[in-house]
Amino acid sequence: FLRYKPRDSYVLSTKVGRLFRPVPDDQVPDHSYVDPLPFALDYDYSYDGIMRSVEFSYARLGLNRIDILFVHDIGAYTHGIEKTKLHFRDLMDGGLKALEELKRTGVISAYGLGVNEVQICLDVMRRAPLDCILLASRYSLLDRSAEAELLPLCRAQQTSLVIGGVFNSGILATGPVQGAHFDYRPASHDVLDRVGAMERIAAEGGYPLAAAAFQFPLHEAAVATVLTGTAKLANLTRNLELLDIDVPEAEYAKYRPYTLVQELV
């Protein structure tokens, strides 16, 4: 699809840090994906691991330019505290050197992190500058964990944020209905109550809660864009239409008493 589009009409990103290793069909790990390909995943944030990962990506894509590399899922949210120490050391000792070399030689245009947590962003940024961060679920109408330290640091270092998970795994789009999900699992009673209160605020304001959730990150200067996943064209169209709904700036202050500010690691 992209091969036949003007090259400057899109920005292409991919992730590094996970390498695919072929395994027999009866040994394919449970990745929680539907009908996964027959590969096991090896996390490797070293110099060689990053270089291999981007080389594999170019081969799969069949294109000759990648704009952004995101270091994928490095941090305690994915690996736990002890393994994260090892992965962090690999990234600091060699992975960042690989990323900077790839950028300097024009193989990529920018690099950053693609994560679900704030702390690892702070840890890396205090050691090395980043062009951008893809942060999922930690700067939303419901979870503002990024607000205290990460946003000011991004402004100071001119690091752009791509905000994913604006609906926090669905609940800010569906509301506090039975089976609603928050942070990739069924929502707790506390979260259901918080979102219920938010839904009442939106109803009183005359707009859907999903519109406020979708637009909220875009009010922050460090945020370049929001990222929304979808499996259906109708859902994508609906999400884009949320940008056209007027949500007055003053409304966002009303949600603050119901937001979360602690990371759930």
The residue with tokens 């736990």 is: 80
Q: In whole angstroms, give the CA distance from residue 3 to residue 217.
A: 32
Kindly give the residue spans of alpha helices, DSSP state H, lying in 21-132.
47-61, 76-90, 96-104, 119-125
Dihedral, CA of residue 81, residue 83, residue 84 and residue 88, to nearest 10: 150
How far apart, in Å, do the first and last CA atoms of the chain sit? 38
The pLDDT, as a whole number, for residue 262 is 60
Q: Note whether 130 and 115 are within 8 A (CB).
A: no
pLDDT tens across 122-179, in order? Answer: 999 999 999 999 999 999 999 999 999 999 999 999 999 999 999 999 999 999 999 9
- C-alpha dihedral sign at 127, 133, 135, 141: positive
Three-state DSSP at 146 gives coil
- How far apart CA 207 and CA 201 sit, in angstroms, is 9
3-state DSSP assignment of residue 22: strand
pLDDT of residue 32: 78
State what percent of residues in the chain have pLDDT above 90: 91
Pick 226 or 32 by higher pLDDT. 226
- pTM here? 0.92
Contact 132, 99 (CB under 8 A): no
For 43-66, what is each residue's pLDDT tens digit?
A: 999 999 999 999 999 999 999 999
Question: Is it the case that residue 264 has pLDDT exceeding 60?
Answer: no
For the chain, which domains are there?
Answer: 1-117 (3.20.20.100), 137-258 (3.20.20.100)
Report residue 44 as tokens: 């490797």
Residue 213's closest CA among 141, 143, 162?
141
